[in-house]
Structure 1
């Protein structure tokens, strides 16, 4: 088997590339072949922790993948997102409630990622037949019924850089939300535990074996006492984090069917047809990007509130105090 490394495979460790490329081959067989010298890179024995570069030629002896290569599916659907920002390396789109970023366990319907792949395929920027292991991928995720900006990397090097920036806290994600009551400005920390059986997260002040630390900052923009419009800075990225954390503080997000208050939600659904949480990922700041994305500087990308959110905000805060 002979493989030539392209730009979307370059920069990966050899063992990790082989694990993705030979999906049905046991890890033990891959590492055994590496030890025996049956995997060669540019004619020399391949070492598991070496990094492959563009133009490298990998030759594999006595190890084969019997599974047909998975063809990354491109749905023939009209992309329904709005492009917020795009260049050669990244695509930032506005996600609307009701669609998943990735498939869940029951996934049948096309996801936001399927729409993005279709969009890039039609533009001639992505062809699944030409890729060995890479496909454009999201860097951040939003819950099904949370709306706002989702970032996609168009190539492997951009994905690697964005993931590193995310881990280092150099991608700042700000949200707008309307919550019940008033909440004091500042930083909030707690611990979250998610139950997979009902997909509900609980928040507490004490750590535990299955709990993960969470943190956010809150700044109030407007308040009537009954409701407050707040800007949220997500410091950690856990599933349902903002929704569950705010609810635990007694300030659930309006419209949130899972963590909110039924009476408030019913009122908003009847008056405005707001059937999802008022939580919008409106701004992304790239802090000190490096590598392939250094040209972004300290770029800020933001979206305006959608019309329905503007209407609800205007009505609820006519007489803010």
Structure 2
């Protein structure tokens, strides 16, 4: 097997590239082949930490991989016309996620995800041709719960995906949400500890650290309040699973429409009046801060997206008069 390294493979460690390329080959067999010289780069043995460069030639001998021989689309093909683009250039794609769709596949992997819609969109416009790629697939850099809506960032090439993941990990991208919650909220920094029950898919918040819990932080600011309800902006600093939803419920301000952590009576009212069957939580703003490298042009750029029509109507009604 002979592979020429393109821009979407360059920069990766050799062992990580091989693990993605030879998915069905045991890692021990890959390392053994590297030691024996059965895997060479530009005709020479290389260490597993070698950083691949454009136009490198990787030669693999004596290893058979079904993953490589089965060159087929690695996503569920759907009609991408319904996808809403918030921002796009040659490196980055930001799309609006709608309630009810997963960002990544679950264990069953049978339903189309937001990633499938994005890959179908990029494939239709010729920006992503699976059979032309060795290991790279455009991928999301942030995630939202199934019934949370708003902006999700995708990297369209390997270098951009790597840089996006890096700046998000280093908190150089501020992520802001709008949420409608019960009651008045105390503005400021909210801290605590979160522990998730994976079997029940429920997160619990604690004021003090307990075993296996993780620290959480978010900054909350009231945008509008009528006493019974408040529209808040959340600057999410640590992005733990269900963090905003569980923490707001913990402090007595559950998000309207949240079937898992919310107020059942209020949820029933908003369902009957507006057909709201998901939480009023929307990832509406991204602020790119200290960005360099390939994505330096995004430095200090803010991208926002308006609330969906159902959220706008509820907001208009709630603050016109108290329900």
* TM-score band, normalised by shorter chain: over 0.9
Aligned residue in 1 for 2:286: 284
1:236: how far off?
0.8
**Separation in structure 2 between the aligned mates of residue 107 and residue 126 of structure 1, nearest angstrom:** 21
Cα deviation for residue 210 of structure 1 reads: 2.2
Structure-2 residue corresponding to 1:137: 139
* Partner residue in 2 for 1:55: 55
User: What is the deviation of 1:170?
Assistant: 0.5
The alignment yields a C-alpha RMSD, in angstroms, of 1.4
Alignment-derived partner of residue 9 in structure 2? 9
2:170 aligns to what?
A: 168
Q: Secondary structure at the match of 1:149?
A: strand
| Superposed counterparts of 1:305-320, under 5 Å | 305-319=307-321
Aligned to 1:265: 267
Q: 1:77: which partner in 2?
A: 79
- Residue 21 of structure 1 is matched in structure 2 by 21
Write out the 4+ residue segments of structure 1 that deviate beyond 4 Å after TM superposition.
none
TM-score by length of structure 2 reads: 0.96
Using the alignment, how far apart are the partners of 1:79 and 1:236 within structure 2?
A: 33
Do the aligned partners of 2:289 and 2:301 also contact (CA within 8 Å) in 1?
A: yes
Once residues 202 and 150 of structure 1 are traced to their aligned partners in structure 2, the CA distance between those partners, rounded to angstroms, is: 25
Distance 1:81 1:238 in 2: 26
Q: What are the superposed Cα offsets for residues 104-162 of structure 1, whole Å, 9 maximum, x if unpaired?
A: 12332211111111111111101011111111100111111111101111000000000
Distance 1:202 1:76 in 2: 36
Q: Distance in 2 between matches of 1:209 and 1:63?
A: 44
Structure 1 counterpart of 2:155, from 153, 156, 159: 153
Aligned partner of 1:232 among 208, 231, 234: 234
Q: How does 1:62-211 map to 2 (within 5 A)?
A: 62-67=62-67, 68-69=69-70, 71=72, 72-211=74-213
Give secondary structure in 1 for the equivalent of 2:151: strand
Q: Does 1:38 align with 2:23?
A: no
For the residues of structure 2 that align with 1:66 and 1:124, how far apart are their CA atoms? 26
The Cα offsets for residues 189-236 of structure 1, whole Å up to 9 and x where unpaired, read as 111111121211111122233222111000001111111110000101
Q: CA deviation at 1:19?
A: 0.8
Number of positions where the alignment pairs a residue of Structure 1 with one of Structure 2: 320
Q: Using the TM superposition, give the Cα deviation of residue 282 of structure 1 relative to its aligned residue in structure 2, in angstroms.
A: 0.4
- Structure 2: gaps spanning 5 or more residues: none
Tell me the TM-score normalised to structure 1 length.
0.96
Unaligned runs of 5+ in 1: none
